Chains A and B, each alone.
Chain A
Amino acid sequence: MKLLRRYWLTALAILVSGVVFLIPFAFIIMMAFKDRKQAALLDFSWPQGLHLWDNVVEVVTTRNWMLLTAFINSSILTVASVTLLVVFAAMVGFVLQRRKAKWNGLVEFLILAGLMIPPAIVPTIWLLQGLGLFGKLHGLVLVEIAYGLPFSILLYRAFIATIPRDLDEAAIIDGARPFDVFFRVILPLLWPVTVTNIVVQSVAVFNDFTNPLYYLPGNQNATVQLTLYNFQSQFNSSYNLLFTNIALITIPPLIVFLFFNRQIVAGMTAGAVKG
């Protein structure tokens, strides 16, 4: 009886998730197979003829292989900013959760403010110009870190609360320096949250559209989301190419996810053992 119920539940879950989550993806992929005229109808129909390869070639070679440049730029941007973001946010989250200082309130307010206030674009550009960072990839890395910090800190702080204090105190008594306590003891224990952070933030940075548009102008600086504009404008859309482009630029986040998906499972079993 119980087995039967579980079987039904599984079947139902697979069916519903298939309809709700997979069909939109199927749509994107089918569009990528169509030619321009069929794609313009925007219906959920089987592609007439296989145009995927033509579409891919056209998307990739458009505007001097802009998509390749964009992939390289976005990858560098994502890896650099997420690495630093994770380390800096974990450091803040750790001390913020552990140490009861009187300015914790201020820090928390600033974190909430960061989540709430939309960034001021033009003053930021002036500032970046003053620092010689405008239109530079490392300038945008710093901007992405600044905008991502509040979210990451919040995630870290919530989960550092679940790590017993005794652990850091024991390590200190064993003679470890605070620096080591954090990087050798705490950070590894935070792995599951770190994975969440990496996945979420790298997807956010990789998929960011507005910030590169303003802070990183220039073709040689293109990032992947900006390439969507090659095929979509208010006057004329080539939907087959647009959806091919969407499919192509979703592949890297997908790989990151598939890679870390195992890590999430591993991290969770570790957590279970610890419990």
Chain B
Amino acid sequence: MARVQSPARSRPSTYPGWFFLPAAIIYGVLFLLPTFASLYFSLTRWTLFNSTFIGLDNFAQFFREPFLIKGLINTVIYAVVSSGLKVVLGLLLAVLLTSQIAARGYLRSVVFFPVLVSTVGVGITFTVLMHPTQGMINEGLAMLGIKGPGWLVDPNLALISVALVDVWKGVGLATVIYIAGIVAIPQDYYEAARIDGSTPWQSFIYVTLPLCRPATVTVITLSFIGGLRTFDLIWAMTRGGPGFASDTIASVIYKQYQAGFYGLSTAGNVVLFVLIGVLVVPLTMLLNRKEGHE
């Protein structure tokens, strides 16, 4: 690569624009291009074999879907519950695992194990464990004298059960991101706080919490977006059921797609994208602005 173009403008060349190039080409060709093509199909009745232009009918139909409103609410509940728990538990675990606790290595590994198993595998395993009569969870509860609920078969509980499994599977990742964030905090801050006579709780509130904000932003962004568009775990565990009780927008879209309503499902994708945009863009702006204030 040629050296700096002009010494006077050395700043930009330290950070050459061509660094974007490999990523931009792959991303542009294999992701953006097909996505734009699919936008056209959201305006058609599409059987994969041929397509008829029908304007905005798909969107009208999508909003007439009987379970769309419920799906919308479910989606938000799922995302808030799973990402909220991941943030809280991830942070607590990270604090615990960076402290002087014994068996740190073991605990760190154990918490991260579930991240390694495929979603399909986790789904199959927990469907079995959450079986209402023979499942291990309810058998364990029965030993304590508690009659366990029908985790995945009770229409009021199915969504939350899946969200909890999502947390089980994903909290290890949140923890690792937090550990990396906490370890990056210079020890001087803690020493200064200690000299000032602050309790461990105070140093957590005034040092750890604000200084690992980048980690928090990352965890929230990733798990909230992940929660909004999640469907593979729901699909592996309940397929949106019983009936339609744990349907989220993503699973509704997926069902339309599977049923061969390709145009309709593409329109659903656009709706989901808009929903995520409406929720996530203000959220990231808020998080980033606060970060700027620090």
Contact = CB atoms under 8 A, between A and B. Distances in A.
Interface of A: 6-7, 9-10, 13-14, 17-18, 20-25, 27-28, 41-44, 84, 88-89, 91-92, 94-96, 98-99, 101, 107, 110, 112-120, 122-124, 126-128, 131, 142-143, 145-147, 149, 151, 153-155, 158-159, 161-162, 168-169, 172, 177-179, 181-182, 192-193, 196, 199-200, 203, 207, 209-210, 225, 228, 232, 242-243, 246, 249-250, 253-254, 257-258, 261, 264-265, 268, 271-272, 275
A13 B107 contact: yes
A193 B183 CA distance: 12
Contacts of B186: 275
Interface stretch (B62-70, B94-102, B153-161): B94-102
Given A13-B96, A179-B1, A88 B23 contact: yes
A118 B102 contact: no
A2 to B, nearest CB: 10
Contacts of B105: 261, 265
Contacts of A42: 128, 131, 134
B173 interface: yes
A95 B16 contact: yes
A101 B20 CA distance: 12
A251 to B, nearest CB: 9
8 contacts: A14-B107, A21-B168, A115-B225, A116-B280, A168-B14, A209-B118, A253-B116, A268-B183
A128 B102 CA distance: 52
Nearest to A109: B281
B271 to A, nearest CB: 11
B143 to A, nearest CB: 11
Given A99-B12, A142-B30, A21 B229 contact: no
Contacts of A153: 23
B6 interface: no
B259 to A, nearest CB: 15
Interface size class of B (residues with CB under 8 A): 35 or more
Interface string B85-117: 000000000001000111101111111111111
B262 interface: yes
Contact of B116 (A107, A126, A155, A250): A250
Which label, helix, strand, loop or mixed, suits the secondary structure of the A interface? Answer: helix
B184 A98 contact: no
A88 B18 CA distance: 11
A119 B31 contact: yes
B209 to A, nearest CB: 16
Return the 7 tightest CB-CB contacts between A and B, nearest first: A120-B38, A207-B118, A275-B186, A123-B34, A146-B30, A123-B37, A253-B116
A275 B182 CA distance: 11
Contact of B22 (A43, A91, A178, A225): A91
Given A24-B125, A92-B24, A203-B116, 4 more contacts: A24-B126, A44-B136, A116-B277, A127-B30
Nearest to B215: A158
Contacts of A207: 117-121
B252 to A, nearest CB: 12
B3 A177 contact: yes
Given A116-B273, A161-B214, A89 B118 contact: no
Interface of B: 1, 3-4, 10, 12-17, 19-20, 22-24, 26-27, 29-35, 37-38, 41, 48, 96, 100-103, 105-121, 124-126, 128-129, 131, 134, 136, 139, 168, 173, 176-177, 179-180, 183-188, 214-215, 217-218, 221-222, 225, 228-229, 232, 250, 253, 262, 266, 269, 272-273, 276-277, 280-281, 284
Contacts of B221: 115, 154
B139 to A, nearest CB: 7
Nearest to A151: B222
A112 to B, nearest CB: 7
Contacts of A6: 100-102
Contacts of A253: 116-117
Given A17-B107, A172-B14, A178-B13, A228 B120 contact: yes
B218 A98 contact: no
A35 B124 CA distance: 18
B6 to A, nearest CB: 14
A13 B119 CA distance: 25
A110 B276 CA distance: 13
A116 B116 contact: no
